[in-house]
Amino acid sequence: MDLKQRAYCDRILRVNLSTGAITTTSLPAEVMPLVLGGKGLGAWLLYTEQAPGTDPLSPDNMLIFHNGPLTGTTAPTAGRFGVTTRSPATGTYFDAYCGGYWGQMLKYAGYDALVVTGAADSPVMLVIDNDRVELRPADQLWGSTVTAATERLRDEFGHDWQSLVIGPPGEQQRNVASIFNETRALARGGVGAVMGSKRLKAIVVRGNRPVRVFDKQKYERALQLAFRAVRMSSKTTLLTREGTANILEIIDVMGALPTRNFQQGQFELADEVCGAAFREHNWKKDYACFACPIGCGKWTIPLDDGKVIEGPEYETIFALGPNCAIGSRETIIRLSWWCDEYGMDTISVGGVLGFVMELFQRGLISAAELDGIAPVWGDGAAAEALVAKMAKVEGCGVWLAQGVAAIAERYPEGKPFAMHVKGLEMPAYHPSAAKGTALAYAVSERGACHLRGAPLSELFGGAADPLTIAGKPQLFRDTQADTAAWDSACLCLFPGYGMTLKELWQLVVAATGFDYPAPADLQLLGERVSTLVRLFNVREGFARANDTLPARNLSQPMAGGPAAGHVVELEPMLDEYYRIMGWDHNGVPTPERLRQLGLAALLEPEVG
């Protein structure tokens, strides 16, 4: 099987920063039809090549960048790429995805994946120009912000190159650090800290290799259907108009908009920070990632001091707005600017702010411990001062930038309302008001995450009553498998608000020629990949006890709104979910299910 005729490059670039060795290997041909690429490929490499117990910030931790078979073509959002590593924040398998313009460049340079291991003695950058790959000193760039580094690289290399950089929090291995391609981020879980631990400041890439699909005619036909499905969808139309923020109002109406560190599910100033308000007052132009027909990104009108951001999107608005009781759009933009400029994850930073504000509200933390800053709910100036501390990694920012779980270790009385799972701060859907989503937060392979199968359709798709647990494990299982398939094909999830798995399947089959007789085979692939990452976490000691939620969700009834009085009935959902997945009572995949998924034979040496 010639994978080069099946939309792959059939090359993995491997860079060892300790030795300086740069090599390439081919793809595992017999594995590819089972994992497809993207998430599946990253999970495969991490599971089979990384030694159990590897410290996330040690040189041995693999930092794997990957694209997918559709990357670089005209498939909707075909510029997407991802990163897979072991997270310093969660200790779990961790994957993050990003739009922007870097992913297709790696593919055009001729690589399906880039595996970085080792650690350099002094700051370096990796320069990939098709087959010419080299490491260069980056002392000059070390310490610079994301924008400054990006602009310097653009000046030095030119517009036909794309860069990935980290900011100071990444360099100093903070858990809130992300990796940025211009305004877009591989975010959450401290993936930027892993890059920083390797003293890798930047990766620039340029390429001009073509991508060849298996059946061009069939692929073009599938593209036509996919694009039409995206265009003929009111949900994608709304994404174009108001970005992801279009859902803020409905989430608020459903009582699921986390407010004041999840003490409430509705925000009294929701109208001020919804998509329509940003559209009317703050946004001036749409931004699209590579090959994206939707364009959910928005450029803001400059603030008084000239600060401009691309955003904010829904999660950022929630985290830096309602979660801190901040109802000023300008303040949200300003806080978001700090995160983007210095390379931090807005959800985690907002989670930290909300947590610290509640600690302060309850008198569990003093201004003195926060370098004199008194974080009162809704105080934009205090929030900005704290974010600046984290951005510059100075004073209290040094430990704040380690995330909610780490702060809760310093202030154990805050643990019941430390809103994280497995060390990852919670995203913008209140689990107590969305039970299927709660299950996803508890179980997800990377901690509290809304993008690893959370059935958000229970909130804005009307798929089911969000307040019941009936049927939710099955709904989560299906969405999780779909999402894993989508991430393995490495497309953004948003075309999926118009396309279904069927349109994705048509694209994948035409591009790769792999034998997937029906869309359900892609769903099976998704379940296989989800199970593979579960195996990684099991190997690192994760089990049922870790699939949990903060006490706030499990035992403190919601204060008001449509979900008033609700807590998450987690245990029965876990039981049913494990049963559906073929995992044992402790959440460990059974050998029988591994055989059914075709994993047992592949993992023979490991599983036995």
Partner 1 sequence: MKAGLQARMDRLFNRHGDGRAVCVAADHGYMSDVTPNVVKLRAITEAVIRGGVDGILLSPGQAMRLAPLFQGRDGPALIVRADWMNMPRLGTSNVANAVPQRILLNEKMITAEQAIALGASAITIYLFVGYDDEVEALGVDKCARFVNECRRAGLPCIIEPIAYGRQVTGANIVELLTLGAREAAEIGADALKIPYTGDVDSFRHLIEVADIPVLVLGGARSDNERDALELYAEAQEAGAAGCLMGRNVTKSPDPQRLIEQLCGIAHKGWTVDEALRGEVWEYVKLKAHPAKCTGCNLCVVACVASHDGGSYGTHLARLRIDPGKGVGQFKVMFCTLCKKCIDVCPTQALRWHPQSGAVELLVERCDNCGKCVEICPTQVIVHSDEGVRIIGSGTPAAPQKELPWYPVVCDLCGGAPECARICPTGAIFIEERKAFSPLAE
Which residue in this structure is represented by tokens 């200790």? 91
Nearer to partner 1, 73 or 85 (CB): 73
Unique residue bearing structure tokens 């009108």: 301
> Nearest Cα to 292, choosing from 95, 97, 74, 34?
74
> DSSP strand E in 99-140: where?
113-117, 124-129, 132-137
Query: Which of 164-172, 357-365, 367-375, 492-500 is the region at the interface with partner 1 (rule: CB under 8 A)?
Result: 492-500
**By the rule CB under 8 A, 474 interacts with partner 1:** yes
- Contact between 460 and partner 1 per CB under 8 A: yes
The rounded distance, in Å, linking the Cα atoms of 84 and 40 is 10
The two structure tokens encoding residue 10: 């059939």
Strand 132-137's sheet: what is its strand order? 132-137, 124-129, 200-206, 162-165, 179-181, 184-186
509-528: contacts with partner 1 (CB under 8 A): 518-520, 522-523
Instruction: Please state the closest distance from residue 123 (CB atom) to partner 1, in A.
Output: 27
- Residue 428 CB partners (closer than 8 Å, separation 6+): 251, 257, 258, 314, 315, 317, 318, 319, 323, 347, 450
Q: Residue type at 465?
A: D
The yes or no reply on residue 234 touching partner 1 (CB under 8 A) is yes
Question: Alpha-carbon dihedral of residues 594, 478, 503, 217, nearest 10 degrees?
Answer: 0
Binding to partner 1, residues 372-431 (CB under 8 A): none
Candidates 29, 250, 543, 551: give the one binding partner 1 (CB under 8 A): 250
In 273-320, where does DSSP find H-type helix? 275-281, 314-320
19 vs 159, which CB is nearer to partner 1?
Answer: 159
What's the closest the beta carbon of residue 269 comes to partner 1, in angstroms? 16
Nearer to partner 1, 245 or 401 (CB): 245
- Block residue for tokens 């009781």: 325
Piece of 110-118, 186-194, 393-401, 478-486 that binds partner 1 (CB under 8 A): 478-486
Measured from the CB atom, is 87 or 236 closer to partner 1? 236
232 binds partner 1 (CB under 8 A): yes
Closest separation between CB of residue 498 and partner 1, Å? 8
Of the candidates 115, 20, 103, the residue with the CA atom closest to the CA atom of residue 69: 103
CA dist., res. 476 & res. 533, Å (int):
16
**Among residues 506, 512, 546, 553, which is the contact residue for partner 1, using CB under 8 A?**
506
The region of 56-64, 278-286, 410-418, 538-546 touching partner 1 under the rule CB under 8 A is: 278-286
Q: Which residues contact 5 (CB under 8 A, 6 or more apart)?
A: 212, 214, 513
**Token pair recorded at residue 373:** 């800053």
> How far apart are alpha carbons 231 and 57 in whole angstroms?
43
Q: Residue 317 and residue 338: Cα distance in Å, rounded?
A: 14
Cβ pair 198, 185 in contact under 8 A: no
Check residue 129 for interaction with partner 1 (CB under 8 A). no
Q: Single out the residue of 50, 92, 197, 246 in contact with partner 1 (rule: CB under 8 A).
A: 246
Residue among 289 and 549 whose Cβ is closer to partner 1: 289
Q: Take residue 101 and report the two structure tokens written for it.
A: 């313009």
Which CB atom, from 153 or from 501, has the smaller least distance to partner 1?
501
Scan residues 280-309 and list those touching partner 1 (CB under 8 A).
284-295, 297, 299, 308
In angstroms, the CA 229 to CA 174 distance is: 41
Report yes or no: 289 and 492 within 8 Å, Cβ to Cβ. Answer: yes
CB of 229 to partner 1, least distance (A): 7
**Encoding tokens for residue 205?**
């890439």
User: Which residues ranging from 531 to 590 are in contact with partner 1 (CB under 8 A)?
Assistant: 562
How many residues at the interface with partner 1, by CB under 8 A?
85
State the DSSP code for 433.
G
Contact with partner 1 (CB under 8 A): which of 503, 527, 547, 576? 503
Cβ distance to partner 1 smaller for residue 59 or 471: 471
Chain positions 45 to 84 lying near partner 1, rule: CB under 8 A, are: 72-74, 78-79
Q: What angle do helix axes 501-512 and 472-489 make, rounded to 10 degrees?
A: 30
Q: Measured from the CB of residue 428, what is the shortest distance to partner 1 in angstroms?
A: 16
Q: Which of 152, 218, 231, 307 binds partner 1 (CB under 8 A)?
A: 231
CB 81 within 8 A of CB 165: no
Sole window of 55-63, 131-139, 329-337, 467-475 interacting with partner 1 (rule: CB under 8 A): 467-475
CB closer to partner 1 out of 123 and 496: 496
Site residues (CB under 8 A) for partner 1, limited to 440-459: 455, 457-458
Determine, following the binding rule CB under 8 A, whether residue 249 of this chain makes contact with partner 1: yes
| Type of residue numbered 466 | P
Beta carbon of residue 226, minimum distance to partner 1 (angstroms, whole number): 9
Residue 211 backbone phi and psi in degrees, to 5: -110, 125
Q: Of 79, 485, 511, give the one whose Cα is nearest residue 292.
A: 79
Q: CB atoms < 10 A from the CB of 381, how many?
A: 11
Cβ at position 77, least distance to partner 1 in Å:
9
Out of 279, 307, 415, 502, the residue judged to bind partner 1 by CB under 8 A: 502
Please, which residue, 270 or 419, has the CB nearer to partner 1? 270
Sign of CA dihedral 430, 435, 437, 441: positive
- Nearest approach in angstroms of CB 315 to partner 1 is 18
C-beta of 253: minimal distance to partner 1 in Å?
Answer: 5
**Of 186, 229, 405, 418, which one interacts with partner 1 (CB under 8 A)?**
229
Q: Of residues 152, 212, 218, 539, which one binds partner 1 by CB under 8 A?
A: 212
x/- map, 328-367, partner 1, by CB under 8 A: ----------------------------------------
From candidates 16, 237, 556, 596, binder to partner 1 by CB under 8 A: 237
Closer residue to partner 1 in complex, CB, 232/381: 232
Longest Cα–Cα distance of the chain, Å, equals 67
- Cα–chain center distance at 345: 10
Within 139-178, the residues that bind partner 1 by CB under 8 A are 159
| Backbone phi and psi for residue 599, each to the nearest 5 degrees, phi listed first | -90, -30
Q: Which stretch binds partner 1 (CB under 8 A): 355-363, 495-503, 527-535, 591-599?
A: 495-503
